[in-house]
Structure 1
Amino acid sequence: ITEEIWQSMPGTESESIMVAEWPEYNEKLHFGEAAEEFSRVVSAIKAIRVQRNELNVPPSKKVTMTVETQYTTLFSDCRRFFEKLAGAGEFTVTEKADAAEGMMTVVTDSARVFIPMGELVDKDKELARLDKEKKAAEKDIEFLSKKLNNPGFLAKAPAQQIENERAKLAKAEEKLAKITASIEGLK
């Protein structure tokens, strides 16, 4: 905390933060229940942003969102956070929503968010991009598999390098699985 901020805070009697007493804990300033409630909203926004990022949807693109949750008042009150941080255009909160064909579903512990796929991506363009990424991942897996199956490499390489290559292979396989799942989700 800087001196300037310290001076603007209410209840600061000392002239400088450098000579001030360590602050006492004030129970009135603890908002545990509110923080727990807001964490539900934060987790939904994070999950939406992760999905948008995986689909390469620009943050500025506004999309329709329908939120199914038992916390309807909380999510309705936090509409502006979804608009600013998750890119919501039209925003609806309900206790029961039906997942329709062509909807991306984002699931968290306290909500399900439905977003029409047509608003997020150009399906053909995205499939072409994912196919290109899939081929690159398959090429990486093939290269790393050959390297790790080469007895000469295994005999001469340091153990740390072999572990690094195995980690790269596992990461490439995980990436391929995600890409394949994304392709299936778009079809």
Structure 2
Amino acid sequence: HRGESIMVAPWPEVPESWVDPEVEATGDRLVAVVRAIRSLRADLGVPPGTRVPAVLRAPAELHPTLGALRPYIAALARSDPLTVEDLAAARPAGTAGLLADGVEVLLPVAPADRDRIRARLAQELARVSAELQRVEGRLRSADFQARAPQPVVEAETARREALRERSRVLEGHLAALQG
């Protein structure tokens, strides 16, 4: 290598022509949908190597984008078949779902597995609820608020919000699998 060292060279600047907000939004949607499918798989106890059918319900204007992303989503989330349906269509019975960047992601649950999955989700919900009560109690404590450094209080507040969100997700899964 000849010339100035990369260690002291200025950081490269990105030309405006390289920035495409539409492509970035499509990439963000891909990541959100794959993350939602993987999260559902984990919540439902689906082994990582197992291919599962998935349904993406979205407004009609997103169908072309989701159609173009279908092979990538299917490969990254190990989903087969992967279908795209209109959001206005009735939600299939016996499915668990999450919302990801305007797309409802659904995974079917076999009737034979529903009781086992409901029991596991109820156990996880009980664990999350107990942890949430502990964190909320800590945050309600005037002694904790007075003595703890601000970053610790902020971390506990963020933890409380994450636990609340996890609780809502688990309750949604349980409600979807009733009956």
TM-score by length of 1: 0.61
- Among 107, 118, 122, the alignment partner of 1:127 is 118
Aligned ranges for residues 1-187 of structure 1 at < 5 Å? Answer: 14=3, 16-18=5-7, 20=9, 22-69=11-58, 70-95=61-86, 97-118=89-110, 122-133=113-124, 160=148, 174=164, 179-187=170-178
Equivalences, count:
164
5+ long unaligned stretches in structure 2: none
Instruction: Quote how far apart the aligned CAs of 1:93 are.
Output: 2.3
TM-score by length of 2: 0.63
Rounded to whole Å, the distance in 1 between the matches of 2:130 and 2:98 is 31
5+ long unaligned stretches in structure 1: 1-6, 8-12, 149-153
Instruction: Quote how far apart the aligned CAs of 1:118 are.
Output: 1.8
Q: 1:88 is aligned with what amino acid?
A: S
Rounded to whole Å, the distance in 2 between the matches of 1:182 and 1:91 is 20
Instruction: Quote how far apart the aligned CAs of 1:20 are.
Output: 4.2
Q: 2:98 is aligned with what amino acid?
A: V
Distance 1:14 1:31, change over 3 A: farther
What whole-Å deviation, never above 9, does each CA across 1:11-55 have from its counterpart, x for those lacking one?
A: xx9574236454343222222221122222222222222222222
What whole-Å deviation, never above 9, does each CA across 1:72-117 have from its counterpart, x for those lacking one?
A: 2211111232123222110122445431211223323432233212
Rounded to whole Å, the distance in 2 between the matches of 1:106 and 1:133 is 17
Check conservation: 2:40, 2:97, Cα contact below 8 A. no
Check conservation: 1:76, 1:93, Cα contact below 8 A. yes
Compute the RMSD of aligned alpha carbons: 4.2
Instruction: Quote how far apart the aligned CAs of 1:178 are.
Output: 5.5
Distance 1:99 1:181, change over 3 A: closer
Rounded to whole Å, the distance in 1 between the matches of 2:130 and 2:105 is 35
Q: 1:55 is aligned with what amino acid?
A: L
**SS of the residue 1:17 aligns to:** coil
Q: 2:84 is aligned with what amino acid?
A: V
Q: 1:186 is aligned with what amino acid?
A: L
Percent of pairs with identical residues = 25
**SS of the residue 2:98 aligns to:** strand
